[in-house]
Amino acid sequence: MDIGIALLMTQHDFNTIDLARLVEELGFESLWAPEHGIVPVDFKVDPPLGQQGGVPRFYTEGGINQIVDPLIFLAG
């Protein structure tokens, strides 16, 4: 069975080349670079999932809005 690794990489994560080498050394079949090009500016979720009230901090404070472009990630 072939098993791959899929990570949502931000500019604050691992060095791309080091990560790819580690994944290969550990015997994984592939390294996936997912992309999420659309991030909501604001939304409302009713409880129980919406206790935070609005957009989670991860989306607004240097988290998902800092996603590495998958083509640049794969070119590394």
Each residue's pLDDT tens digit, 22-64: 999 999 999 887 776 566 666 666 666 556 556 666 666 655 5
pTM over 0.75: no
Q: Residue 73: what pLDDT?
A: 72
Q: Residue 1: what pLDDT?
A: 82
Q: What's the CA gap between 58 and 8, in Å, rounded?
A: 13
Strand partners, 30: 4
The alpha carbon of residue 45 and the mean position of all alpha carbons in its chain are separated, in whole angstroms, by: 22
